[in-house]
């Protein structure tokens, strides 16, 4: 920043058998061999993981109602357990038949736990989750008609975890209380319904099942991709092998990351913590590029730049490029994520049009196509501007989380940083963000 901001030959058959005999005879008396060599890699083995889901209903149905009248209600519980070796997402769906009563049955599904599951549909000892997942009471994950309940995996009810679907691991279990109530309407008279409730688990690497964010990013061929999920050592591994980085000055490793695949994230102290990547990715002149990352701020220093990524050279009037957060810097949008393209004589910048909240993970993508600088927040275009500034090629190190001056770091976490030699499209950005489960 400058001033108040920085900146074979096909063989032919011979014509007679006699000729063939002569040829064969001519070969008698010596042997012929070729040079050869071998090497072997023994002991290879492969084993597939498993996805195993069980319940305690003993093969019986949860509900049987005859002669139901308005207001009649039944409640049953089931404990669902996971014994697979792969992380999996679980969804609930229901196949419903009959003559239409499902439209007049209110279904409420509440998630919770059992200290000791009683089985056979009993609810003794059921405790609902404390979270009001959908705002309909503690532990409630569905409250509507039976007919409206999803019947396919794609639309299935996602098992919640905070604001994201839960990824189940071996030994995990959840209890569900299922309640059906006949609505007070004459339209329900004489109708029937049958239904099968199904809990389905799919491994969390499958599209639409769980976290496959990394696959979505790699599919679009980044030049470098640092997941930053290391839990020890000082090397930040580039999955593309182009530019491994170094954790410097005590970066804290192994903190919770933004995605449900369990990959962790480093935390920065806002003072001198940083990851040094070397003199890479200058994006000089008007070269197209994209930079993508997740970040979670703890606190922000008042009135100054808080670095996410920077490739600036103080000796060249901070020429280069950067991405960071500003807090209450006079004359600029408060709590916005900014990005700059800087030459030795000028700059172009744009910023998110809405504030970024504390203690929440945000997905940021900056793209430049040679003419327009764009910034995306959580999957959507937030702002853009025409940009014709030619970025000055600098010898500066590219840093994540801090800068060379030990003065403008982020107090918070950064994860899954990717850089590209082209401008991602809005469709690609949205696809990456939507792959976060």
Q: Check residue 29 and give its pLDDT.
A: 45
Are 417 and 299 in contact by the 8 Å Cβ rule? The answer is no
Is residue 180 domain-shared with residue 281, that is, in the same domain?
Answer: no
Whether 292 is in a domain gets the answer: yes
CA distance from start to end of the chain: 36
Q: Are residues 280 and 164 in the same domain?
A: no
Where is the domain boundary, 151, 183, 203? 203
Instruction: Give the end of a domain, one of 162, 183, 203.
Output: 203
Closest CA to 177 of 130, 107, 116: 107
Q: Tell me which residue of 165, 100, 160, 103 sits closest to 136, measured CA to CA.
A: 160
Check whether residue 235 and residue 305 sit in a common domain: yes
Is 294 exposed, middle or buried, given 0-12, 13-18 or 19+ CB atoms closer than 10 A?
A: buried
Q: Report the number of distinct structural domains present in the chain.
A: 2
Listed in sequence order, the residues at least 6 apart from 65 whose beta carbon sits closer than 8 Å to its beta carbon are 72, 74, 180
Is this model's pTM higher than 0.75 or not? no
Q: Are residues 148 and 231 in the same domain?
A: no
What confidence score (pLDDT) does residue 211 get?
Answer: 54
pLDDT score recorded for residue 14: 28
CA distances from 16 to 10, 19, 21, 268 (A): 19, 5, 9, 86
Mark which of 203, 234, 251 sits at the end of a domain: 203
Same domain, 86 and 184: yes
> Does 367 lie in the same domain as 266?
yes
Whole-number pLDDT of residue 332: 67
pLDDT of residue 33: 59
CATH code for the domain in which residue 280 is found:
2.60.120.200
What pLDDT is recorded for position 302? 66
- For residue 388, the enclosing domain spans 215-434
Residues 372 and 402 in one domain: yes
Q: What is the mean pLDDT of each run of 10 residues along the chain (437 residues)?
A: 40 31 38 74 82 88 88 95 86 92 95 93 94 84 91 80 66 93 95 93 59 78 92 89 94 90 88 95 96 91 81 83 82 79 89 84 96 96 95 94 83 96 96 83
279 and 184 in a single domain? The answer is no
Same domain, residue pair 266 and 181: no
pLDDT of residue 273: 95
Q: Are residues 69 and 194 in the same domain?
A: yes
253 and 395 co-located in one domain = yes
């Amino acid at each position: 920043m400058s001033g108040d901001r920085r900146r074979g030959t096909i063989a032919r058959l011979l014509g007679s058998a006699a000729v063939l005999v002569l040829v064969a005879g001519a070969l008698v008396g010596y042997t012929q061999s070729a040079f050869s060599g071998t090497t072997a890699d023994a002991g290879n083995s492969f084993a597939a993981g498993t996805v195993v889901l069980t319940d305690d209903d003993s093969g019986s149905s949860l509900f049987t109602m005859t002669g139901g009248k308005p207001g009649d209600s039944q409640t049953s519980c089931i404990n669902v357990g996971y014994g697979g070796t792969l992380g999996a997402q679980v969804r609930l769906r229901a196949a419903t038949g009959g003559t239409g009563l499902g439209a007049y049955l209110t279904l409420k599904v509440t998630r919770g736990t059992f200290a000791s599951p009683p089985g056979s549909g009993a609810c003794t000892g059921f405790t609902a989750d404390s979270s009001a997942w959908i705002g309909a009471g503690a532990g409630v994950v569905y409250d509507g008609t039976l007919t409206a309940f999803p019947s396919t995996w794609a639309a299935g009810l996602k098992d919640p975890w905070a604001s994201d679907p839960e990824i189940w691991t071996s030994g995990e279990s959840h209890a569900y209380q299922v309640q059906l109530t006949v609505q007070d309407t004459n339209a329900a008279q004489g109708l029937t319904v049958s239904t099968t409730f199904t809990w389905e688990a799919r491994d969390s690497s499958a599209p639409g099942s769980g976290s496959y964010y990394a696959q979505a990013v790699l599919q679009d061929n980044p030049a470098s991709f640092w997941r930053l999920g290391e839990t020890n050592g000082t090397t930040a591994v580039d999955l593309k092998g182009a530019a491994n980085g170094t954790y410097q000055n005590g970066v804290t490793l192994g903190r919770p990351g933004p995605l449900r695949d369990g990959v962790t994230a480093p935390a920065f102290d806002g003072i001198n913590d940083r990851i040094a990547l070397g003199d890479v990715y200058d994006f000089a002149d008007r070269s197209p590029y994209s930079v993508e990352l997740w970040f979670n701020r703890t606190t922000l220093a008042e009135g100054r730049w808080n670095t996410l990524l920077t490739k600036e050279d103080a000796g060249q009037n901070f020429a280069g490029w950067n991405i960071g957060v500003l807090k209450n810097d006079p004359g600029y949008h408060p709590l916005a994520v900014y990005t700059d393209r800087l030459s030795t004589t000028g700059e172009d910048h744009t910023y998110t049009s809405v504030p970024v909240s504390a203690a929440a993970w945000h997905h940021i993508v900056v793209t430049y196509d040679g003419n327009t600088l764009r910034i995306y927040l959580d999957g959507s275009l937030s702002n853009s501007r025409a940009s014709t500034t030619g970025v000055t090629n600098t010898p500066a190190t590219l840093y994540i989380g801090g800068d060379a001056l030990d003065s403008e770091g982020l107090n918070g976490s950064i994860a899954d940083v990717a850089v590209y030699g082209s401008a991602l499209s809005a469709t690609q950005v949205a696809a990456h963000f939507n792959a976060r489960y």
